[in-house]
């Protein structure tokens, strides 16, 4: 290992720049934005479906508001979003640099993407089931919970998997500009110092994260799909 990957070994496992620290930072930057961005994305996705024309809570005004908010944040490239919301990040967490500061743009960056994915997933639910629920007197909350979310849970798992994979990519981009994690390791200690072995290992670790998410997501989606049927 020391002959083929000398710079990888030199970085070590612990310390501020070690591999263990980078891996934990990447998990940290993936987990919390996934939670916060996931909740926001789910709320906006549901709101878009129920308030759209023909929805169970049709409201053109609120549909347009939610649609524009999602469209704006989805359209802004993440690298620009980092700079654009820097003052808001400073106000919220007290700093614009570091792993914790990256949580804010990562959350905002992922929520718009996920909201659109949720919207598409919920719109795939058979409208006949919604009409049947309305016919038996189900409340709007019952329809959202027991029809939309229950019937689309397999598809929601799939789009959540895609979103998580996208989020891992965003953490690497955030890391490349000083937020820590494997992205920072790949660029600062690999590419910038011509340590190709460091860049290679960091890339392989990111790919491993993606592979684990994909395998687990596919397994859960298939299981839920069988249960729904």
- Is position 65 within any domain? yes
- Is position 76 within any domain? yes
- Is position 42 within any domain? yes
Q: What is the DSSP letter of 130?
A: H
Is residue 57 helix, strand or coil?
coil
The total number of structural domains that make up the chain: 1
Q: Each residue of 128-181: pLDDT tens digit?
A: 999 999 899 889 999 999 999 999 999 999 999 999 999 998 988 887 667 889
Q: Each residue of 67-110: pLDDT tens digit?
A: 999 999 999 988 888 888 889 988 988 888 888 889 999 999 99
Neighbours of 203 (CB within 10 A): 16
> 179, 98 in Cβ contact below 8 A?
yes
Q: What is the DSSP letter of 76?
A: S
Q: What does each C-alpha distance from 74 to 69, 114, 166, 188 come to in angstroms?
A: 8, 9, 13, 28
Half-sphere exposure of 72 (CA within 13 A, CB side): 7
Q: Which domain holds residue 179?
A: 6-228
Under the banding of pLDDT at 50, 70 and 90, the label for residue 228 is low
- Is position 1 within any domain? no
Q: For position 83, what pLDDT does the model report?
A: 85
Please give the full DSSP string across 174-215, using - where no structure is assigned.
HIIIII-HHHHIIIIIIITTT-HHHHHHHHHHHHHHHHHHHH
Mean pLDDT of the chain: 90
Q: What does each C-alpha distance from 133 to 138, 139, 174 come to in angstroms?
A: 5, 8, 45
CATH number of the domain enclosing 133? 1.10.3720.10
Under the banding of pLDDT at 50, 70 and 90, the label for residue 2 is low
* Least confidently predicted of 4-13, 98-107, 120-129: 4-13
For residue 15, pLDDT beyond 90: no
Q: For position 226, what pLDDT does the model report?
A: 67
Cα separation, 11 vs 156, whole angstroms: 39
- Is position 194 within any domain? yes
What is the separation of C-alpha 37 from the centre of its chain, rounded to a whole number of angstroms? 7
> 83, 161 in Cβ contact below 8 A?
no
How close are the terminal C-alpha atoms of the chain, in Å?
A: 50
Average pLDDT over residues 28-43: 95
- Tokens 């934005």 belong to which residue? 33
Under the banding of pLDDT at 50, 70 and 90, the label for residue 123 is very high
């Amino acid at each position: 290992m020391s002959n083929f990957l000398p710079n990888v070994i030199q970085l070590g496992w612990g310390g501020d720049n070690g591999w263990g620290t980078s891996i934990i930072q990447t998990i940290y930057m993936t987990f919390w934005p996934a939670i916060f961005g996931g909740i926001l994305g789910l709320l906006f996705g549901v709101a878009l479906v129920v308030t759209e024309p023909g929805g169970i809570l049709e409201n053109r005004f609120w549909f347009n508001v939610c649609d524009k908010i999602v469209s704006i944040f989805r359209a802004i490239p993440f690298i620009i979003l980092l700079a654009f919301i820097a003052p808001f990040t400073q106000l919220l967490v007290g700093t614009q640099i570091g792993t914790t500061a990256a949580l804010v743009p990562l959350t905002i960056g992922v929520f718009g993407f996920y909201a659109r994915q949720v919207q598409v997933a919920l719109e795939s639910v058979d409208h006949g089931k919604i009409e049947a629920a309305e016919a038996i007197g189900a409340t709007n909350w019952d329809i959202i919970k027991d029809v939309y979310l229950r019937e689309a849970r397999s598809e929601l798992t799939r789009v959540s998997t895609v979103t998580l994979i996208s989020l891992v990519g965003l953490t690497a981009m955030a890391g490349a500009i000083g937020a820590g994690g494997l992205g920072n390791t790949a660029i600062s200690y690999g590419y910038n110092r011509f340590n190709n072995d460091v860049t290679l290992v960091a890339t392989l670790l990111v790919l491993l994260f993606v592979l684990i998410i994909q395998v687990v997501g596919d397994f859960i989606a298939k299981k839920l799909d069988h249960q729904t049927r």
